[in-house]
Amino acid sequence: MKTGVSWLNDHLDPPATAEEVAQVLTAVGFPIDDEGTASEGERWLEVELTSNRGDCLSHLSLAREISAATGRRLKTPAASRGVSTATSSVASSGEPFPVVNRVPDRCPLYTARVIEGVRVAPSPAWLRKRLESIGQIPRNNLVDATNFVLFELGQPAHVFDLATLRGRRIEVRMAREGESFLPLGEGAKAARLSAQDLVIADAERPVALAGIKGGAETAVTDGTTSIVVEAATFDPVAVRSSSRRLNIRSDSSHRFERGVHPAEVGPAAERLVALILELAGGTVRGPVAADGRPIPDPRSLCLRLSRVREVLGIDLPERRVEEILERLDLRPKRERGGEAGAVFRVTVPPRRLDLEREIDLVEEVCRIHGLDAIPVRERLEIRPAAPQREVEAVRLVRDSLAAMGFIESVTHSLVSPRVATAFLAPGESMLHVDDERAGGTPNLRPSLLPSLLEVLARNEGVGERDLGVFEVAATFRMLADGSHRERRIVGIAVDGGEDPQLAVRRLRGAIERLASRLSGEVLRVEPIADGEATAIAPAARLALGAAGSLGVMGLLDPTVASLAGIDRPVAVAELDLAPLVASYPPSPRIEELPQFPAIERDLSVVVAEEVAWSAIERAAGEAKVEHLEAIRFVTTWRGKSLGEKKSVTMRLVFRRADRTLRHEEVEPAIERITAALRAGVGGELRGAGA
């Protein structure tokens, strides 16, 4: 807020210099953003305010902060210069101006008063000087009076030309869909209102956008002789919503968005009416017209002296705390004393919407006493919290994949349905975000893979290929029964280049290493039929011993890859993070190292193309030969000589615990395994070697 130093000093005794004002306001939590000198040598300061201190968007409230911090006497404004409050309050005979408030939940209080016989003229020098000191442009005595009260007391107000109000009445209501409204301001354009906009209307049309802007059609002019003075308060959310949607902002909306208490409306209206009578003359006709809800009683809070000392860490005297509360106009009353210390009951002024709890009062005491008076320890003793298992597990996932050459991606949760719908199971749908800022991506992603595919496509577009990317994030989907599910998963995508098998092997190796590090279990890979995993074919289901189902992996369906702008094979996987975290940390297993060497034999078995490695491994294991320690996959070979079949090479590891095996001892085992492969998967031996 831009503040005039002379204007602040209108409320301070003795006055303060600009340098002292800047120093004091900064010390109590209102730093200075900028400063300068206006016309006629008037100093001004740009004060930075937090959003919860809307009460300080006025010179009087900032002066009150300076008064509380320095002990200066605060001078509150009289109703008018030369006109008493009593005089301005006396109404002539007659009925109040007709006001109907149809939405008291959005307009807790609306007041109006008629003044007849006013004379529109330039404002006096003192008023122009005050407004010019903060960068405002004087207009005329009526408009300048409303602006003066706005910046003096923080209460927005408005003046209507009574002759332009159709039906001579005011109604507070919601706009009708499609209604047009022309706001005040040079070059302003008519706005099309919606049923969500709160307006002030006469008998036929909106004449003001509530809390934001008055209308051009009912503005005062040089020929205005009778006016309606409006003072009200409006719901901050309603004002903020309309202001942003219509892109209309003002000093009034800035204050209403931060909250104006209904109890502040009446005194400010009295001040404005008295000021208008002084500047423009005229006669008040009828009493105040008001409509809304009853004004709520002031809040009452308790403050324990022991709590102040505990939070601040200093033995603050009881009298000092009471003095600070008095300076802040909190009217403290000591309820009790004793060994536990005094307890103060305070009454919160209506303007202080930010004071809701005891800790807020502790903060007030700290601000005024001085943050610089709070001692700072040179050493601070802390007790580190024990590492959280879930956090460590997720960190290990990220570190492990990064160590294996995968690049972590951070993508947006909102995606376009163009690719994302391919990853939904039958009956499922995406969760839609009703927000115009979402643009063409209004849906929460049901899978991480659409986002990772976009990363691969963008990199491929600039010549970066053969990438492996991953992301740890949440996915969302609407289930067939109408409920929705949110899961935190690990998504991985590998650019396959020209050889999809290399991509699958790299992906599987990474997942096996990840499962081993987090659970100590051996990953189980079980092929599934086409169509069981959406958008992935061929696909396999992944599982862990104790944790159960882990996720799926496989090659991305070429049709889906094409939708994402990728024309190369891509290996993908989605892993549920929950079982990985649940199995962490792995239970250590200690095994004695073998004392004798193993014998390894490679077998190449020709099988049909559709036979999976898991079936080959299972068939070889069912031979139940002695001393077989492990069966390991080596490679797969395809060639013209094999036709539609493939050759799968496996490595058989034999070992005895009590002595070294001889080669002739494993020959019978090789023959039994060969027979089991022939019977189990129709495999024919292509060659064997040690």
Q: pLDDT digit string (tens) for 130-180?
A: 999 999 999 999 999 999 999 999 999 999 999 999 999 999 999 999 999
Q: Is residue 592 part of a domain?
A: no
Q: Is residue 425 very low, low, confident or very high in pLDDT (cuts 50, 70, 90)?
A: confident
What separation in angstroms does the CA of 358 have from each of 55, 131, 302, 311, 530? 19, 38, 6, 11, 63
pLDDT of res. 554: 93
User: What whole-number distance in Å separates Cα of residue 446 and Cα of residue 416?
Assistant: 11
Can you give the residue range of the structural domain that contains 271?
Answer: 85-292
pLDDT of residue 339: 58
User: What does the alpha-carbon distance between residue 47 and residue 320 come to, in Å, rounded to a whole number?
Assistant: 28
User: Can you give the pLDDT at residue 85?
Assistant: 35
pLDDT of residue 480: 87
Q: Tell me which of 249, 275, 292 is where a domain ends.
A: 292
* Residue matched to tokens 């900064």: 26
Q: Domain check: are 625 and 576 in the same one?
A: no
Q: Which among 261, 292, 323 is the end of a domain?
A: 292
> Is the domain of 243 the same as that of 193?
yes
- From first CA to last CA, the distance across the chain in angstroms is 85
Bridge partner residues of 161 (DSSP): 227
Single out the residue of 596, 619, 601 nearest to residue 666, CA to CA. Answer: 601
> Are 271 and 138 in a shared domain?
yes
Residue 344: give its domain's CATH number: 3.30.56.10
Same domain for 540 and 556, yes or no, is yes
- Is residue 44 within 8 A of residue 38, CB to CB? The reply is yes
- The per-residue b/e assignment along 213-231, b for 16 or more CB within 10 angstroms, e otherwise, is bbbebbbbeeebbbbbbbb
Residue 415 lies in a domain: yes
Average pLDDT, the chain: 90
Burial class (CB in 10 A: 0-12, 13-18, 19+), 21: buried
What are the residues whose beta carbons fall under 8 Å from the beta carbon of 687, sequence distance 6 or more?
603, 604
Instruction: Tell me, yes or no, whether 151 lies in a domain.
Output: yes
In this structure, are 433 and 568 located in the same domain?
Answer: yes
- In DSSP terms, 606 is beta-bridged to 647, 684
In angstroms, rounded to a whole number, what is the distance separating the alpha carbons of residues 356 and 351? 12
pTM of the predicted model, to two decimals?
0.65
Half-sphere exposure of 404 (CA within 13 A, CB side): 20
Contact 362, 308 (CB under 8 A): yes
Please indicate, yes or no, if residue 80 is contained in any of the structural domains: no
Cβ(180)–Cβ(193) below 8 Å: yes
Please check the confidence at residue 22 and state whether its pLDDT lies above 60.
yes
Q: How many domains does the chain have?
A: 5
* Lowest mean per-residue pLDDT among 21-30, 454-463, 495-504: 495-504
As a three-state string, the secondary structure of 39-105 is: HHHCEEEEECCCCCCHHHCCHHHHHHHHHHHHCCEECCCCCCCCCCHHHHHCCCCCCCCCEEECCCC
In a shared domain, residues 89 and 56: no
DSSP 8-state secondary structure symbol assigned to residue 448: S
Cis check for the bond before 183: say yes or no (omega within 30 of 0).
no
Rounded CA separation 295/203 (Å): 27
Q: Are strands 468-478 and 484-495 parallel, antiparallel or unpaired?
A: antiparallel
* CATH code, domain with 280: 3.50.40.10
In a domain, 381, yes or no: no
- Do 432 and 361 sit in the same domain of this protein? no
Final residue in a domain of this structure, among 74, 105, 123: 74
DSSP string, 129-166: HHHHTTTPPP--HHHHHHHHHHHHH---EEEEEGGGSG
* Residue 333 counted as domain residue: yes
User: Same domain for 393 and 368?
Assistant: no
94 and 189 housed in the same domain = yes
609 and 492, same domain (yes or no): no
Work out the number of other CB atoms within 10 angstroms of the CB of residue 42: 17
Q: Which residues contact 323 (CB under 8 A, 6 or more apart)?
A: none
590 occurs within a structural domain: no
Q: Across the strands, what pairs with 636? A: 648
Q: What is the CATH number of the domain that holds 566?
A: 3.30.930.10
Instruction: Tell me what percent of the residues of the chain surpass a pLDDT of 70.
Output: 95
Q: Does any domain span residue 460? A: yes
Concatenated DSSP letters for 619-633? HHHTT--TTEEEEEE
Quote the tokens at residue 401: 């994949």
Task: Check whether residue 280 and residue 415 sit in a common domain.
Answer: no
Model confidence band, residue 376 (pLDDT cutoffs 50, 70, 90): confident
- Examine the domain organization and report whether 476 and 494 are in the same domain: yes
Residue that the structure tokens 């009828």 belong to:
286
Query: pLDDT grade, residue 89 (50/70/90)?
Result: very low
Q: Indicate the length of the chain as a whole number.
A: 690
Residue 403 banded pLDDT, cuts 50, 70, 90: very high
